[in-house]
Amino acid sequence: MPAVPQLIELLKEPSKAERTLIENAFAFAEEVHKSHARYSGEPYFNHLFETAKILAELGMDATTVAAGLLHDAIEDVGVTQETLRKEFGDEILMLVTGVTNLGHLHYRGIDRYSESLRRMFIASAKDVRVLIIKLADRLHNIRTLACVPEEKRARIAIETLEIYAPIAYRLGIRRINRELQERSFPFAHPNEYARVKTLIKGKESELTRKLLKFHKSVLKKLAEQKIAFIRATHRIKGLYSLYIKLKNKDWDLEKITDVLAIRIIVREIDDCYRILGAIHGVWRPLPRRIKDYIAFPKPNGYQSLHTTVFTGDGGIVEIQIRTEEMHR
């Protein structure tokens, strides 16, 4: 059940004033939305709380989290701008009205207009926090898309893939970008989703076994060389990301080099290069698959070292190495 402490504990050392702001925004939103329900029948306030929680998990400040709680107050329950200004000030009013205005921009199903609409979204937001609130709002809506009437799901999912996911990528919020893509995929392109699922079916357990084995080998080698790192995780490529690659590779899974990946998080930039050297000292890298996005970041600011290596058992694994700061 939504509760104020759940939000406050996610904030970074909140001041007394910030705690009070969250408490007031929580109480205000809960009250004005008390008769407002979602398609599922659950209280609409649950959506506002989850939006605010996503923002807090992203490390946003108390003002932005409060605006997340209040972001539908004007549009959905008729709270006036004057009331919002009186209760919470000009900054939160600006954020909430910005989100409300973005809500009037919709994808019309014409691919060639997608880039124009993405630019309009970005230009319409006077503050980048408006975009981030809107992304958090859409992320929770996509998490609960199955509760929306069936005739609306495909449009919302396609709009998410065409507009919201690319904006999250441009802002460097890879976590939201990936989740928006993966959760929208089955609703936006059900036939393609089924085809990818069929292609990967029966191979996941073997891929997971190989990845775990190689992951342990990497950790053992780093321990032998006394190279410190914060943590290492592994993953099998998401279905939507796999779909995009398969379309360009004649639907041949063997042609995709990053189906399996390991991510290593370190403290210092020098550690990234030390680990890269240690890995290449044991496992042979694929030609032209070493990418230094630390020295040459992507346009959205993304930084990491990437390499793809032969594992020695007939497989290949992509390895990403970055600092904690780069990973945020």
Q: What is the distance between the alpha carbons of residues 83 and 89, in angstroms, rounded to a whole number?
A: 9
User: What count of residues does the chain have?
Assistant: 328
- Find out whether 197 and 250 touch, Cβ atoms under 8 Å: no
193, 204, 253, 314 from 199: Cα distances, Å: 10, 10, 8, 19
Task: Give the 3-state secondary structure of residue 192.
Answer: helix
Which residue reads 């780069």 in tokens?
326
Among residues 170, 107, 168, 114, the alpha carbon closest in space to that of 298 is found at 170
Looking at 23, 30, 61, 75, which residue is catalytic? Answer: 75
State the greatest distance between any 2 C-alpha atoms of the chain, in Å, as a whole number: 67
Which residues fall within 8 angstroms of residue 5, CB to CB, at 6 or more apart?
none
Output the six-digit token pair for 170: 């441009």
Q: Which of 23, 76, 182, 292 does the annotation list as catalytic?
A: 76
- Beta partners for residue 17, in sequence order: none
Instruction: For residue 113, give the amino acid letter.
Output: Y
127 is catalytic: no
Give the neighbor-by-neighbor strand order of the sheet with 305-310.
231-236, 260-266, 316-323, 305-310, 291-292
Catalytic: 72? no
- Do 26 and 53 touch, CB atoms closer than 8 A? no
Helix/strand/coil for 309: strand
Amino acid at 160: T
Q: Which residues are CB-contacts of 309 (< 8 A; sequence separation ≥ 6)?
A: 279, 280, 283, 284, 285, 286, 316, 317, 319
Please list the active-site residues.
75-76
